[in-house]
Amino acid sequence: MSDEKEKVELEEEGLLASLSSHNMDEFREVFLEQHPYDQAKFFSKLEEEERFIVYSYLSPEEMASVFENIEDDDDRYKIFLSEMDPTFAAQMLSHMYADDAVDVLNELDKDQAASYLTIMDDDAAEEIRELLHYEEYTAGSIMTTEYIAIHANQTVHSAMQILKNEAPNAETIYYVFVIDEAKKLVGVISLRDLIINEPDTMISEVMNERVYSVSVAEDQEEVARKMKDYNFLALPVVDFRGHLLGIITVDDIVDVIDEEASDDYSKLAGIADVDSNDRGPFTAAKKRLPWLIILLFLGMFTASLIGRFEATLDKVAILAVFIPLIAGMAGNTGTQALAVAVRRIAVGDAEEHSSIKLLLKEAGTGLITGTVCGIVVTIVIFVWKGELFLGMLVGISILATLTVATIAGALIPLIMHRLKVDPAVASGPFITTINDIISILIYFGMATLFMQYLI
């Protein structure tokens, strides 16, 4: 594979050379041999003038397969499209797989998208229009209408004929879906089964009537889970009456799984999108500042809470020494509980009874970890400072804080999930700050109550 990588890098140099020497034949010969992913990577690195040459060297169809594989910031699609001749762009869009074309058009202004659809050929435009109105992150938004459908009263042979004809345009030919006259989905047969069976067998005899499908409005994360669990290569998408609308292929699902994971990860770290954080420092700062400013004000609130205990602090300054320890432990345990809860919600296990079970379990976990850490800290402070009472105060604060913080870490995402807010938003930094506040109230509250023993 590293050979292949080196080869691609060598070829890229050659391609750049043939662009600058305007040698179209040489460019096409090397470029069209490359995998579309490598083509797209090469294209993304080019300067504007070089891109103009590429547009003139490739047909709209060839450009379409490059465009399908661009993994770039969304606003760059816009730039590329605006550089192309509009007719060329429209032709390219109509040659793309409909779901990929929709992704591109979704990034444009409405009137721009409409103008491309107008000059596009009618069939392609219609297919794209159908897909354009599905909401983002639903099955409808990632499905394609380029599937192969057959009828149950055909033979295997005639089904294979259809396959041969449609293979060049269909996104996958490895699953063939069986529909009735009303376009209702009634079965599925894999190409593997078509090949194994005799040509004159009827489809109705060999098809699998137990066909798994997803509803067009289903969340893409749910679709990904189904595909992963059942190891499908394609899943049919149906409307509420069971009519076949499109299919979702495994390659799109691989991207969904990757995106969703990166999304949860970003939110746990308190960044909008961890993967787009690699432009300049100004862009990165702009993306991170909103969170930091919110947390700054939450932190000021925490500070004002401690401020209320200034009298206590004035008398027993050593109390301040343990603030970061207690707040830190609360933050850590809260993040652990949060991560478990968010993950549980993500794998679809958040029914009412299992939520309550989760909370009880987290309460128990918090109590156990709190007791252990509380005892350890009491002993350490006693040995280190020789102060049993201070040790007990910190120890009991840790016990109470860890219990409450663990429950809060699980409770908050569960509540947000019930309120239909993405629970991952309630993530790392947010839960940490909430738990700062909880821990400080507990710690200073207890210290003020038992002041007489401390002085």
Residues of this chain, 54-83, that bind a second copy according to CB under 8 A: 71
Token digits of residue 357: 């079970």
CB of 311 to a second copy, least distance (A): 9
Based on the shown chain and the rule CB under 8 A, indicate whether residue 291 belongs to the binding site for a second copy.
yes
Binding to a second copy (CB under 8 A) within 385-404 occurs at 402
58 or 188, CB closer to a second copy? 188
What string of DSSP letters covers 391-426?
HHHHHHHHHHHHHHHHHHHHHHHHHHHHTTS-GGGS
Residues 91, 141, 365, 403: which binds a second copy (CB under 8 A)? 365
Based on the shown chain and the rule CB under 8 A, indicate whether residue 339 belongs to the binding site for a second copy.
yes
Based on the shown chain and the rule CB under 8 A, indicate whether residue 329 belongs to the binding site for a second copy.
yes
Cα separation, 62 vs 71, in Å, equals 17
H/E stretch holding 230:
helix 220-230
Based on the shown chain and the rule CB under 8 A, indicate whether residue 241 belongs to the binding site for a second copy.
no
CB of 127 to a second copy, least distance (A): 21
79 or 379, CB closer to a second copy? 379
From 54-62, 115-123, 306-314, 414-422, give the range in contact with a second copy by CB under 8 A: 306-314
> What is the side-by-side strand order in the sheet with 244-249?
214-215, 234-238, 244-249
Radius of gyration for the alpha carbons in the chain, expressed in angstroms and rounded: 30
Binding to a second copy (CB under 8 A) within 426-445 occurs at 428-429, 432-433, 436, 440
Based on the shown chain and the rule CB under 8 A, indicate whether residue 35 belongs to the binding site for a second copy.
yes
Binding to a second copy (CB under 8 A) within 254-273 occurs at 254-255, 257-258, 261-262, 264-266, 268-271
91 or 213, CB closer to a second copy? 213
Based on the shown chain and the rule CB under 8 A, indicate whether residue 246 belongs to the binding site for a second copy.
no
Angle, nearest 10°, between helix axes 428-449 and 323-346? Answer: 140
Based on the shown chain and the rule CB under 8 A, indicate whether residue 284 belongs to the binding site for a second copy.
yes
Contact string 136-175 vs a second copy (x = CB under 8 A): ------------------------x--xx--xx----xx-
Based on the shown chain and the rule CB under 8 A, indicate whether residue 88 belongs to the binding site for a second copy.
no
| Cβ–Cβ under 8 Å, residues 313 and 421 | no
Buried b (16+ CB within 10 A) or exposed e, 366-384: beebbeebbeebbeebbee
Based on the shown chain and the rule CB under 8 A, indicate whether residue 214 belongs to the binding site for a second copy.
yes
85 or 258, CB closer to a second copy? 258
Strands 185-190 and 214-215, bridge-based pairing:
unpaired
Token digits of residue 304: 């004002």
116 or 366, CB closer to a second copy? 366
Write down the H helix ranges in 309-387: 310-315, 323-346, 352-385
Based on the shown chain and the rule CB under 8 A, indicate whether residue 37 belongs to the binding site for a second copy.
yes
Residues 6+ away with beta carbon under 8 Å from 207: 152, 178, 186, 187, 188, 189
CB of 325 to a second copy, least distance (A): 4
CB of 321 to a second copy, least distance (A): 4
Cα separation, 127 vs 235, in Å, equals 19
84 or 179, CB closer to a second copy? 179
Cα separation, 56 vs 34, in Å, equals 18
Residues 66, 322, 401, 404: which binds a second copy (CB under 8 A)? 322
| Cβ–Cβ under 8 Å, residues 232 and 249 | no
Based on the shown chain and the rule CB under 8 A, indicate whether residue 195 belongs to the binding site for a second copy.
yes
